[in-house]
Amino acid sequence: MLRPFSNKNLHFGFILLFAYFGYVTANHCNFNVKLKQVLKNQGFHRNISYGIVFNTDDDNCWLYKDCVVGLDQTLPHGVYANPDELSTLRRLKKLNAVPKTRINTEMPAEHSYPTTTYITERIKDCKVHVWLPVHARYHLATPGGGMARNTIGPPKLYLRCPDQRLDMCNKAATPVTFLCNGSSKEKCSWKELPYTLLTDTLVWNIPIGNMEHYHAISVGTALVIAIGSLYLIKAIHEHKLVTMPFNPYTSLHN
């Protein structure tokens, strides 16, 4: 028989209460976000690829339905994202990325500053996959040449959901107001989320021109031109002597 204040029922009540809070904290607030950041391709034009997984438990995917992820990626001064290329990709609906800072694509690395690009994407089945085309800046030649080490740090990760669904979870995070996406001027409220980075920090070694090679090449070029010119002058001279037997000067001397 159930008596409202029996020890047994109190016990049961506590269990229920703990189970409820356990559910709320484990299922609603344990975001358990994992991110992989990989630099693809070779050469001066490469591709940063991001794979993000929310939770590992597929039962919780409804929680992120219609939520959007915003990645805030800062690039070091030797690397840049091309605003024109990003605008083309937005128009073709291939990628929603927009420069957050002014990006000058012409400047050599030595005269540039780090820049930031914002990438947004809707979460589908607890997952997001986005990429960002990046380019190496020209590095001014130095004596000895070598490689310029460019370290690309992990992005900041923001989340935005269409309702107040996740507000109770990351109360500590103050909302940031920024563009909803690259395709509209409208601003949205975002919250930063912590995550676990599963990959190593990206390092891109970009070749620097060698000034000594430059001097060697200049001297070589000058030599080739000089010898070639001398050879040509000689050839023209010989040609003249052969084809002009009745040279007026020669006749005069005779």
Interface with ligand NAG by CB under 6 A: which residues? 40, 47, 49, 96, 131, 133, 180-181, 183-184, 186
Rounded Cα distance, 179 and 168, in Å: 23
Smallest gap from residue 179 Cβ to ligand NAG (A): 8
Smallest gap from residue 183 Cβ to ligand NAG (A): 4
Q: Which of 128, 111, 107, 108 is nearest to 119 (CA)?
A: 128
Nearer to ligand NAG, 28 or 127 (CB): 127
Nearer to ligand NAG, 28 or 65 (CB): 65
Nearer to ligand NAG, 159 or 208 (CB): 159
Tell me the DSSP string of 99-152. ESS---SSS-GGG---EEEEEEEE-BTTEEEEEEEEEEPPPPPBTT-EEEEEEE
Smallest gap from residue 98 Cβ to ligand NAG (A): 11
Smallest gap from residue 124 Cβ to ligand NAG (A): 13
Smallest gap from residue 78 Cβ to ligand NAG (A): 19
Nearer to ligand NAG, 66 or 212 (CB): 66
Rounded Cα distance, 29 and 7, in Å: 32
Q: What is the DSSP letter of 29?
A: I
Nearer to ligand NAG, 42 or 254 (CB): 42
In sequence order, what are the beta bridge partners of 196? 34
